[in-house]
Structure 1
Amino acid sequence: MQTILKKSWPNGVPKTLTYRLGEKPLHEYLIQNAKEHPNKTAYVYYGNHITWRQLHNDTIRLAQFFKNQGVKKGDCIALFMQNCPQYLIGHYAIQMLGATVVPLNPMYKESELEYFINEAEIKAVVAGEELHSLLIGAKKNTSSLEFIITTNYADYLTQDVALPIPEELKMKKQYFENAFDLLKVIQMTEPINETEKINIWDDVGLMVFTSGTTGRPKAAMLTYGNALFKTAATTQAYQLNDEDTTLAVAPLCHIAGMVMGVNIPVYSACECVLLTRFEPEAAISAIEKYRINKMYTVAPMNVAILNDPGIEKRDLTSLELNFSTSFGIPVDEKLAESWKKLTNGCLLYETAYGLSETHTCDTFMPIDKIRFGTCGIATYDTDIRIIDVETGQDLPPGEQGEIAVKNPGVFKGYLNRPDATAETLKDGWVFTGDIGKIDEDGYVYFIGRVKEMIKCSGYSVFPEDVEALMNDHEAILQVAAAGIPDPVRGESVKAFVVLKPEYKGKITERDIIEWSKEKMAAYKYPREVEFLDSLPATSSGKVLRRLLKEK
């Protein structure tokens, strides 16, 4: 299988992975960047150019403050905020002490926070000011949380704001009696003298809660080495370097957004334009003003930009590569061609297959051999197997089965969940619960989740397959499929559809069903269709079929 996995390796990309500064945790790359490029811009935040020296200086001061508060190696410290420079500072300050970063989605509510704090025994939280009250509420039923640091996103703005800013950056500064203020902490604390010694392949630097499609979310323990490996592999595969300018707009609390916005800029020493969240005008203006040439998106972002009024008059020609992910809308050849035309040549393609348990990006797309409908080929030092769900036997190319992955990005296991760990992690292999296949050229295809599979009259139907077919309908902007009970067939497919604005009121649910009946096998086409204004999704854009099924 290894020969097939490497068969389509791109021309000009080294076949052996080398680490730019050696095998060391990423916070040491930050330290080195400050030494070698002190005055070079590291991040641009709505017009504020933050240099490597400034980023490093604030990080080592926050690290010392954490140390003064008793934070030590192995402690769990959470980040609970929108994208902002403070997120980066917090992330690397925590890791400089050998502590563990726990990203918490700013969309979480009080009861969810209570669960996460208790599950990981979180000792401290760095949070956006608007989220403070949620933490105080959650703290009442927790015993591990010792202190809170809050921050106002506008603390890292300058007077010369260069881009449209979201509402979160217009909030008045607040101070709380039961929380420290991040800016004051940094201003009043001396820099740390020495960072903690790290065993990068054993010490846990990141704990990511899985989405919890079944049961409560589990905390996947990822080492400093997992992060280094996947960051280096992705950087080298896509040939990113310190001359590039990238855009970070995906949520940093999500593993993919973290790789692209937190890790890669520090590893490669490139300049990164950071936005609190995606808004078409801010993203378009950022691309124009800062001549961004490489960026990561999810497909709905690209569609929003393509449909933005007057977009044909904007200048996005600096873009060269756009790695994207299909969430609700596929990254297909039609979308890629529209994007290429708008940008005068930028390549748009599916970026990678991966999951939290492997620090994502287990594959990459060879940009000289793009194959739409696939997730690309296995990345460096990566083995991928396709396994028969019933027999446990390896399957040959072209056959569908469960995807199993093995590489230096594989996690240590789930915190306090030995049974779940044993079920997922076997002899260094992550059994993903995803169904896929590998073709004769080594390209990996993601077909669907085992647990989301719909059983219709004995046939296995994957939601992604139905969605891909329905996206060919001219009226459909987004679609998600889920299984619903059927007294005769066991389950039937129901499609939740968001129509393009120009088709609203001009097409019915029955029209969609009849069209689907002509395009799909009898067991597969949706028996029910429901129109929605939007699909429920995570902050990263991933459609939550579980909520649709519950609905």
Structure 2
Amino acid sequence: MSPNKTAIVFYGKEVTYRELDELSDRFAQFLYSQGIRKGDKVALFLPNCPQYIICHFGIQKIGAIVGPCNPMLKEWELQYEVNDLGAKAIIYLDHLHSIVETVLPRTNLELVISTSYDDFLPEIPIPSFPEERNSKNDLPIAQNLSRILEVSPPTCPNIDIDAAEDVALIVYTSGSTGLPKGAMLTYKNALYKTRCVAELRGYSNTDVSLSVMPICHIAGMLGMNVSIYSGGTIVLLNRFSPEATMEVIERHRVTVAQTVVPMNIAIMNHPTATAVNFSSLRMNSCTSFGVQLTEEISAKWKELTGVGLFESAYGLSETHTADTMMNPEDVKFGTTGKPMPGTEIRIVSLEEPRLECAVGEEGEIIVRGPGVFKGYLNKPEATAQTLRDGWVYTGDIGKIDDEGYLYFIGRVKEMIKCSGYSVFPEDVEIMLNRHPAVVESAVIGVSDPVRGESVKAYVVIKPEFVNNFSPEELIRWSKEKMAAYKYPRFVEFRDTLPKTGTGKLLRRKLKDGEKIH
């Protein structure tokens, strides 16, 4: 490792490996001085920025547990995750001040730390920064991260960590029903997947990786880990735009990119794309969110950049993702690659899970290996349902061909995928039911040519609102109360909702009704 090598580039601001190590040590020391100990949970309510990376590693250096909270969460969502996590501390971006301020009295948070984009931006960002700067709208009790990193000693406490047993990360996900659940992942889970990806994809300390996917999500986080593990450089963008992405690829000679297909299409359709020098790219893995990757799209990308696209992987939060991975030298379109070394994948019958399906036969995907999580936080029944004899029952439907490639077919779960984000029906329904006009609601995913799926809500409203309340009003209200990827794009009022004799919602009947239309 070269201490003076650049680890992170953020709109022209460079952080070396020496600085990253020292800053994360300083943060670790500060947390320890404030009573944060091994096993304590610390919430990160941050978008893509150097502070996220510094805090992530600082928390784990003292054996505390990182709890990523999507910065798109609104107050009810953040409150649920912070309380379910049992977080003792939170680090948040000052732009999110109003949400944290509202939630704070309804949590048991003991330590609140704020930070600002401006703390890690140069005076003139390159490319131009897409958000407002100098917000500095802090809570009175919040401590300032910039000040902490300035005055805290650069000495990290020596904590004994059992990599196989100790939880390093809790990410929120869901099964077929219920609110999001915290999947507990160990240091070993993270290291295993990081090493596998680095070795299979040939990462080295000469690689410059584009990081535009949210690093609060497991896929973006794995990309972050792989680059740091390999001693390469991360070019970090706060959000995607074709202009910014093209500029940093050319300026910083990016060698490796991880994208979703709509990003590549947006770049290919940009009027200046043919003038950009993409020659540094050696590899671009992508994920079919919103638009399915085809051989035609890959060929067009190769014509523009010199490298083809390939489906990156299949994986879950419960397995630290990347259970299968595509070899860029042996791409098979329509598949998600082959199992990682040391990871077993089977297809089992939906009717009888003890029976393994034949080659080419569809069934439920189950996974076993060193990436498998320890279980869901404080949810033994949900853990027992998903984790059986070391196998994760994914709730996803797939098949394996005679060459060992995995085909992802669909979801047994009722989870909805909107622009790559997981949306859990009951989560949205619970929030919709808080509206004074709503009696009850049911949520499903409907096909969306751009986002993959969008949320549609079927709602029963109170009689007094029937003639003076519209679906559009409920959509506007939802937009204010829920994350942008989550709120319903479509609302249909119903007199009743389909249910079983015991009162359980039959979302499948609503889904089937959409297919008829």
TM bucket by the smaller chain?
0.7 to 0.9
Per-residue CA deviations over 1:111-164 (Å, capped at 9, x if unaligned) read: 11111111111100010001122112111212x211110000121112352212
SS at match of 2:313: coil
1:366 maps to: 327
In structure 2, distance between residues paired with 1:60 and 1:195: 11
In structure 1, distance between residues paired with 2:29 and 2:79: 27
Alignment map for 1:296-307 (pairs within 5 Å): 296-307=258-269
In structure 2, distance between residues paired with 1:91 and 1:240: 22
In structure 2, distance between residues paired with 1:427 and 1:320: 40
Structure 1 residues 387 and 351: alpha-carbon distance in aligned structure 2, compared to 1, 3 A threshold = same
Contact 1:320–1:347 (CA under 8 A) maintained in structure 2:
no
In structure 1, distance between residues paired with 2:491 and 2:36: 41
From 177, 199, 202, give the equivalent of 2:140. 177
1:222 aligns with 2:166: no
Superposition TM-score, scaled by structure 1 size: 0.76
1:383 maps to: 344
In structure 1, distance between residues paired with 2:408 and 2:259: 19
From 63, 67, 75, give the equivalent of 2:40. 75
1:431 maps to: 393
Per-residue CA deviations over 1:359-389 (Å, capped at 9, x if unaligned) read: 0000111222100000000111010000001
1:86 aligns with 2:48: no
Q: Relative to structure 2, which stretch is displaced further, 145-154 or 444-453?
A: 444-453
User: What code does the residue aligned with 2:392 have?
Assistant: V
Aligned residues: 441
Per-residue CA deviations over 1:271-316 (Å, capped at 9, x if unaligned) read: 1101111111111100000110111011111111111122111111
User: What code does the residue aligned with 1:394 have?
Assistant: E
1:95 aligns with 2:60: yes
2:252 maps to: 290
1:412 maps to: 374
From 102, 106, 110, give the equivalent of 1:146. 110
In structure 2, distance between residues paired with 1:308 and 1:540: 28
Alignment map for 1:529-540 (pairs within 5 Å): none
1:248 aligns with 2:211: yes
Q: CA deviation at 1:48?
A: 1.2
Alignment map for 1:95-174 (pairs within 5 Å): 95-142=60-107, 144-168=108-132, 170-174=133-137
Structure 1 residues 390 and 364: alpha-carbon distance in aligned structure 2, compared to 1, 3 A threshold = same
Superposition TM-score, scaled by structure 2 size: 0.81
SS at match of 1:140: helix
Contact 1:245–1:294 (CA under 8 A) maintained in structure 2:
yes
Q: CA deviation at 1:213?
A: 5.6
Contact 1:57–1:191 (CA under 8 A) maintained in structure 2:
yes
Alignment map for 1:173-322 (pairs within 5 Å): 173-211=136-174, 214-261=177-224, 263-322=225-284
Structure 1 residues 164 and 548: alpha-carbon distance in aligned structure 2, compared to 1, 3 A threshold = same
In structure 2, distance between residues paired with 1:389 and 1:395: 9
From 5, 23, 30, give the equivalent of 1:65. 30
In structure 1, distance between residues paired with 2:447 and 2:195: 39
Contact 1:249–1:278 (CA under 8 A) maintained in structure 2:
yes
2:289 maps to: 327
Structure 1 residues without counterparts, runs of 5 or longer: 1-35, 454-462, 468-476, 484-491, 500-535
User: What code does the residue aligned with 1:64 have?
Assistant: Q
Per-residue CA deviations over 1:441-480 (Å, capped at 9, x if unaligned) read: 0000000001349xxxxxxxxx99xx9xxxxxxxxx99xx
2:2 maps to: 37
Q: CA deviation at 1:548?
A: 6.2
Q: CA deviation at 1:547?
A: 4.6
In structure 2, distance between residues paired with 1:409 and 1:256: 14
Structure 2 residues without counterparts, runs of 5 or longer: 426-443, 452-478, 493-517
1:449 aligns with 2:401: no
SS at match of 1:286: helix
Q: CA deviation at 1:195?
A: 3.1
1:488 maps to: none
Identity %: 46
User: What code does the residue aligned with 2:114 have?
Assistant: T
SS at match of 2:106: coil
